[in-house]
Structure 1
Amino acid sequence: MDQDTLQAILREAVRGTVAEVIQLLLHLDQEAFLRENGGRKNGHYRRTLQTRFGQVDLAIPRDREGRYYPSFFVPYQRRLVDVGEVAIALYASGVSHRKAAEILGLLLGHRYSHETLSALTDQVLEAAEAFRRRPLPPEMAFVYLDGLSLKVFQEGEGVVRSSVYVALGVSPEGERRVLGYWLFPSENATSWEGVLRELRERGLERVLLFITDGLPGLAEAIARVYPLAQWQRCVVHGVRWSLGQVRPRDRALFAEELKRVYEAESRAEALKALEALREAWGARYPRAVGMWLEDSGAFLRFYEYPRELWGYLRSTNLMERFIREVRRGTKVRDHKFPSEAAVYKLLYLESERQETRWGERRLKGFGEAREKLEKMLEERYGPLTQRLTQNS
């Protein structure tokens, strides 16, 4: 392949990337407009835009009232894309500052240093801090707690491994919300208790169920801060740990019998299946089986809630989907960050992006279960209006 052909191929690939970036900005711009001004989406119209790499076809979003027009499409202006907006969108998508500078250079025909791009994305730090400290609704049906590990540069220590804590709430209506994110040196129950107390201070007082992994001391920390809430231990984490205690040749059969426990039609049937598991495997794998026997109440707590929601409550999978998206943004950085501020920037941008997506539809099953959940909250905590009056 000669050099001219290769350049043409690369140019076409970059043109496609340019179109994707601008299309993403259009989506974010309209979402911001509708949040501020109200209104509803109303499809799109087609428009072409000339760039350094040729013409790109775009779908320009519309609103029903006809008030929205892309804020960065200024008539007769030579540059139709705002550098800061593109930089932030690229950073949120997991592109490093250095790579983002290269893309902007190709897109706009001007060279930008990665230091300049870092300064542009720093404008989100104030918004990120406000997001972390924003007041919370007084109640959530369910709260998921989980974390991930990252490498962060610390002055005087170099690059050290740190733990990101994330709290995700689901309302009785099925609306998801990032309640907060925190950075700590390691994951432990003491730090989680501090997180829980902060959630309470920011307004979250009524929770039916916390869903977490089996971190030692976490259940006790939840009980101290939210004594009326219940705890569900993640079944998926439990299965993974148990299978790690089982010989490879026995894993398929063990997993099948274990599945009968957490996929039973009722708690009574689950307990029968658990007894069958003990009889079949207890002598051979006492630790793997013993954990389920000892924590059966926490593993099977979801049976006390509406059947429509069991799939959400058995595990932290709902949270892990969010964390998976965060990891996509860290992967290109080799999970390394130059500062804590850089971590908070990424977490904020991903939280905003996900909450925008979640706002378009609620979780299935909550429409049928909403009244049951509200009744459970009232029975456990009293009427919400009464509680708010007492606290004011």
Structure 2
Amino acid sequence: MTQLQFNLDMDLLKDAVMNSNIDAVVKSSVVLVLNEYMEKERDDYLNVPAYERSGDRHDYRNGYYERDFMMSIGKIKLRVPRTRSGEFAPTVFERYKRCDKAFALSMLEMVINGVSTRKVKNIVEELCGESVSKSFVSSLTAKLDPIVKEWANRPLNTTYYPYIFVDAMYIKVREHHKVVSKAIYIATAINAINQREVLGFRIDHAESFEAWQEFLGDLISRGLQSPKLVISDAHSGLKKAIKKVFIGTSWQRCTVHFKKNLIKDMPKKNIEEVKIDLKRIFDAVKPEDARTFKDEFVARYEDNSKLEKVIGNLEEGFDDAMQFLNEPIKYHQFIHSTNSLERLNEEVRRRERVIRIFPNTQSAFRLVGAVLMDYAEEQEKKKIIIKKD
């Protein structure tokens, strides 16, 4: 058989092929080129050509497996080379975003640890072939984990962030042969050009003053300066930690959560007008107007016994919920609630729903970090566009 000889820019070739719309008649050519490229990658990885002996080899060839690969020209079947240790991975399949790699790794770990559902095992076989080894998974984590860890611990002393958002969400993790609930603490901020940035995250046990204090203290140790406002829900431990860690910082209670709590305590019938009057308070632009509308609300409904609890809670939480009105008007729509952070949480939740139960805490840390890193990169792209404009 004649040996195939060619000299191509493989990065350019892969990019062109993966983004092409060429007809199905050339699929065989694409398969030929990609198979040959993967063979070359394995040779480079092993540090020795086929049928040659060398004391410098890194591993041994172990045949091939077939794998379907979806491309813009349709599904093709590739002949993927493998090594005895299972650590070799062709770069052809590295099209996935960082968070998708972390997502796949979580599923791989579930399969390796014998805790996967049939659905997850089927997805893993689609991604990686018939089976995966522990050494293969270890090689992937060794590449991705340091990247996530370095980003999570990067310095925060290059920019001042006047408005910081913090929230926690819960996930399930296998730990010591049982399933436990853990909290993911996430902090984001608005920078000088009103773009969102992720400051940090942490995975710990249930929310508490001590856990929040440690998380916020870690942000300070990385160079974060005390902001003007911290926007969050009304968790008592978090409020206490904000006061303890950040000097001279005000707490902004999320108005969306606050309004929902007030409405939840209202009667279920004939309450539309009351809701409109309540909304008027939170739609105010100036702090003095908000206070006036609040006083009018109290005066109008204070004799209604069914609204006694609502009025009491409104009076108690009013000042904390209106801190944002003391800031420039251009920021009001962004800093009155934690909605933006909750949308980011949903990006994490979208992948977490498939995993359901993380095989370990490091797996959860890796996936959450990768999702947040990809989000941060998207925000950075927007920042560049704004600067150009």
- Superposition TM-score, scaled by structure 1 size: 0.68
Query: What does the per-residue CA deviation read over 1:360-388, in whole Å, with 9 as the maximum and x for residues that have no partner?
Result: 22499x99xxxxxxxxxxxxxxxxxxxxx
The correspondence of residues 87-236 of structure 1 with structure 2, limited to 5 A, is 89-92=100-103, 96-97=107-108, 102-103=122-123, 105-106=125-126, 110-113=129-132, 115=134, 118-123=137-142, 124-137=144-157, 138-155=159-176, 158-236=178-256
1:295 Cα deviation from its structure 2 partner: 2.2
Aligned partners of 1:339, 1:353: CA distance in 2, in Å? 22
1:92 Cα deviation from its structure 2 partner: 3.6
1:328 Cα deviation from its structure 2 partner: 0.4
**Equivalent position amino acid for 2:367 in 1:** L
Q: Which runs of 5+ in 1 are unaligned?
A: 1-25, 31-43, 59-77, 368-392
Structure 1 pair 218–89 and aligned structure 2 pair: CA distance change class (3 A): closer
Query: What does the per-residue CA deviation read over 1:14-64, in whole Å, with 9 as the maximum and x for residues that have no partner?
Result: xxxxxxxxxxxx9xx99xxxxxxxxxxxxx974657466588328xxxxxx
1:325 Cα deviation from its structure 2 partner: 0.5
What is the CA RMSD across the aligned residues, in angstroms?
A: 3.4
Structure label with greater radius of gyration: 2
**Equivalent position amino acid for 1:272 in 2:** T
Q: Which runs of 5+ in 2 are unaligned?
A: 1-10, 32-66, 74-88, 112-118
Choose the corresponding residue for 1:249, options 234, 253, 269: 269
Structure 1 pair 214–54 and aligned structure 2 pair: CA distance change class (3 A): closer
The correspondence of residues 309-328 of structure 1 with structure 2, limited to 5 A, is 309-328=331-350
Query: What does the per-residue CA deviation read over 1:266-287, in whole Å, with 9 as the maximum and x for residues that have no partner?
Result: 2222112111222233443222
Query: What does the per-residue CA deviation read over 1:318-367, in whole Å, with 9 as the maximum and x for residues that have no partner?
Result: 11111010100111122x21111011011111011101111122499x99
Whether the 8 Å CA contact 2:106–2:363 is kept in 1: the answer is no
The correspondence of residues 1-392 of structure 1 with structure 2, limited to 5 A, is 46=20, 48=22, 50=30, 56-57=71-72, 81-82=92-93, 89-92=100-103, 96-97=107-108, 102-103=122-123, 105-106=125-126, 110-113=129-132, 115=134, 118-123=137-142, 124-137=144-157, 138-155=159-176, 158-282=178-302, 283-334=305-356, 336-362=357-383
SS of the equivalent of 1:332 reads helix
Whether the 8 Å CA contact 1:152–1:337 is kept in 2: the answer is yes
**Equivalent position amino acid for 2:315 in 1:** L
Aligned partners of 1:290, 1:236: CA distance in 2, in Å? 18
Structure 1 pair 191–103 and aligned structure 2 pair: CA distance change class (3 A): closer
Structure 1 pair 363–90 and aligned structure 2 pair: CA distance change class (3 A): same
Query: What does the per-residue CA deviation read over 1:117-159, in whole Å, with 9 as the maximum and x for residues that have no partner?
Result: 7435423222222222211135212110101011111216x11
Structure 1 pair 93–286 and aligned structure 2 pair: CA distance change class (3 A): farther
Structure 1 pair 86–224 and aligned structure 2 pair: CA distance change class (3 A): closer
Structure 1 pair 177–91 and aligned structure 2 pair: CA distance change class (3 A): same
Aligned partners of 1:323, 1:340: CA distance in 2, in Å? 17
**Equivalent position amino acid for 2:131 in 1:** Y
**Equivalent position amino acid for 2:293 in 1:** A
Structure 1 pair 217–161 and aligned structure 2 pair: CA distance change class (3 A): closer
Structure 1 pair 279–220 and aligned structure 2 pair: CA distance change class (3 A): same
SS of the equivalent of 2:297 reads helix
Structure 1 pair 120–249 and aligned structure 2 pair: CA distance change class (3 A): farther
Query: What does the per-residue CA deviation read over 1:153-176, in whole Å, with 9 as the maximum and x for residues that have no partner?
Result: 1216x1111111111122122232
Query: What does the per-residue CA deviation read over 1:286-322, in whole Å, with 9 as the maximum and x for residues that have no partner?
Result: 2222222122221111111111211111100111111
- Superposition TM-score, scaled by structure 2 size: 0.68
**Equivalent position amino acid for 2:152 in 1:** R
1:215 Cα deviation from its structure 2 partner: 0.9
Runs of 4+ in 1 over 6 A off after TM superposition: none
Structure 1 pair 149–251 and aligned structure 2 pair: CA distance change class (3 A): farther
Query: What does the per-residue CA deviation read over 1:215-272, in whole Å, with 9 as the maximum and x for residues that have no partner?
Result: 1143332222212222110001111211221121145333222110110232222112
1:189 Cα deviation from its structure 2 partner: 2.5
Whether the 8 Å CA contact 1:235–1:314 is kept in 2: the answer is yes
Q: Would you say how many aligned residue pairs link Structure 1 and Structure 2?
A: 304
1:105 Cα deviation from its structure 2 partner: 4.3
1:103 Cα deviation from its structure 2 partner: 4.7
